[in-house]
Amino acid sequence: MAEPRGVEGRVCIVTGAARGIGRAIGEALLDEGACVCFADLDGARVANVAEENRERTGGAAIAAAVDVRDRAQVRAMIGRTVEAFGRLDVMFNNAGINKPMNFLDVTEENWHLIMDVNGLGCLIGIQEAARQMIAQGGGGKIVNTASIASRQGFDNVAPYCASKWAVVSLTQSAARDLARHDITVTGFAPGVVDTEMWEQVDRDLMEIGAAERPGQAMEEFSAEILKGRVARPSDITGTTTFLASRASDYMTGQIVMIDGGMTLV
Ligand SMILES: NC(=O)c1ccc[n+]([C@@H]2O[C@H](COP(=O)([O-])OP(=O)(O)OC[C@H]3O[C@@H](n4cnc5c(N)ncnc54)[C@H](O)[C@@H]3O)[C@@H](O)[C@H]2O)c1
């Protein structure tokens, strides 16, 4: 009989899973029979997400409160997952933040905040997941959330773009280092996805005078999308489940664009 190539029985962690893209990634994995740890800074909200999903599917969903910038908390999240499900097969480093500022006004504080969550958080997540995978043996997969902002610099979100370019280079560096352990490291790059992140971006852009009304930024960013509309989180999950599955075993060091044809790179 052929080896199973899906995600059934695979143990996965998804960070930033209290809402938006991360929640959808976790739910899609659970629907395909994976065991999922939903992890987020918002511990109360992510606990509800896991509970709702256990009720919805009867599946193996747990929650972990984690700040991805804090190595001890990331280790505890992995420990909790291994305690519940026996191992870790797939790590999604998905948690991310944005805080727009006009380019000339960007402060050190803004830079450090965004680079710490999106860049350092990704590095720590890769390292700690890999340590667990190496210790248990049998390889594994690490999947990082990049962005169209990993391919182009945009003016009001310079640190965010820098942090998402960092995700690409961390993916490549880690892929080179971890291949000898049969650990693959890939990423995916969404374009404009309709999530709560955009509500915050709207508020910030209006505050700095770069937008006049809610929804304007999303409209302007979306004008060039060949598919003619912004993405829903469910547009992303076919690819993320594939990247978590054995069907993608021969891919590593790559970033898959999922932007409806917005950037063509
Ligand atoms: N929405 C988009 O258009 C878009 C496009 C490209 C890339 N992305 C990326 O996709 C990922 C998810 O975005 P989203 O739109 O679902 O955002 P979102 O703001 O809706 O959700 C992000 C989640 O991450 C959590 N989080 C923030 N800081 C954290 C930390 N330090 N530790 C742990 N969790 C933390 C938040 O609590 C939140 O639940 C992010 O990396 C984002 O940069 C989003």
Three-class secondary structure of residue 240 per DSSP: helix
Query: How many domains does the chain divide into?
Result: 1
Decide if pLDDT at 204 tops 70.
yes
17-26, 156-165, 205-214: lowest mean pLDDT where? 205-214
Which residues have a Cβ under 8 Å from the Cβ of 237 and sit 6 or more positions away? 24, 25, 27, 28
For the range 165-174, what are the long-range contacts, defined as Cβ-Cβ under 8 Å and sequence gap of 24 or more? 166/115, 166/118, 166/119, 166/122, 167/93, 167/118, 167/119, 167/122, 168/255, 170/119, 170/122, 170/123, 170/126, 170/144, 171/144, 171/146, 171/253, 171/254, 171/255, 172/253, 174/126, 174/130, 174/142
Q: Is the CB of 151 under 6 A from ligand 1?
A: no
Mean pLDDT for the stretch of residues 41-55: 98
pLDDT digits (tens, 9 = 90+) for 127-184: 999 999 999 999 999 999 999 999 999 999 999 999 999 999 999 999 999 999 999 9
Decide if pLDDT at 3 tops 90.
no
The Cα–Cα gap between 113 and 234 comes to 28
Tell me the C-alpha to C-alpha distance, in Å, between residue 141 and each of 17, 69, 183, 229, 251: 18, 21, 5, 31, 10
Taking all residues of the chain, what is their mean pLDDT, rounded to a whole number?
A: 97
CATH at residue 109: 3.40.50.720
Task: Of 97, 100, 98, give the one whose Cα is nearest residue 208.
Answer: 100
- Report if residue 202 sits inside a domain: no
pLDDT value of position 4: 76
- Report if residue 208 sits inside a domain: no
Q: What is the DSSP string of 147-175?
A: -GGGTS--GGGHHHHHHHHHHHHHHHHHH
- Report if residue 244 sits inside a domain: yes
The Cα–Cα gap between 187 and 150 comes to 11
- Report if residue 212 sits inside a domain: no
Which residues make beta-bridge pairs with 103?
none
Amino acid at 10: R
The Cα–Cα gap between 224 and 152 comes to 14
Share of the chain above pLDDT 90, in %: 94
The Cα–Cα gap between 109 and 179 comes to 36
Q: Which two tokens stand for residue 144?
A: 């990082």
The single residue of 141, 160, 227, 250 carrying the catalytic annotation is 160
Distance 145 CA to ligand 1 centre (A): 9
Q: Which atom in ligand 1 lies closest to the alpha carbon of residue 197?
A: 19
Query: Around Cβ 183, how many Cβ atoms within 10 Å?
Result: 22
> Tokens 């409209």, residue?
219
pLDDT value of position 265: 86
Enclosing domain of residue 54: 11-197+233-258
Cβ atoms of 107 and 208 within 8 Å: the answer is no
Residue 1: band (very low, low, confident or very high) from pLDDT cuts 50, 70, 90 = low
Cβ atoms of 167 and 145 within 8 Å: the answer is yes
Residue 160 known to be catalytic: yes
- Report if residue 176 sits inside a domain: yes
Output the pTM of the full model.
0.98
pLDDT value of position 221: 86
- Report if residue 112 sits inside a domain: yes
Q: What is the DSSP string of 182-199?
A: TEEEEEEEE--B-SHHHH
- Report if residue 153 sits inside a domain: yes
To test the ligand 1 pocket, which listed residue (195, 205, 243) has its Cβ within 8 A of the most ligand atoms?
195
pLDDT digits (tens, 9 = 90+) for 55-85: 999 999 999 999 999 999 999 999 999 999 9
Distance 21 CA to ligand 1 centre (A): 7
Q: Is the CB of 205 under 6 A from ligand 1?
A: no
Query: Around Cβ 192, how many Cβ atoms within 10 Å?
Result: 22
- Report if residue 218 sits inside a domain: no
Residue 249 DSSP code? T
Q: Is the CB of 97 under 6 A from ligand 1?
A: yes
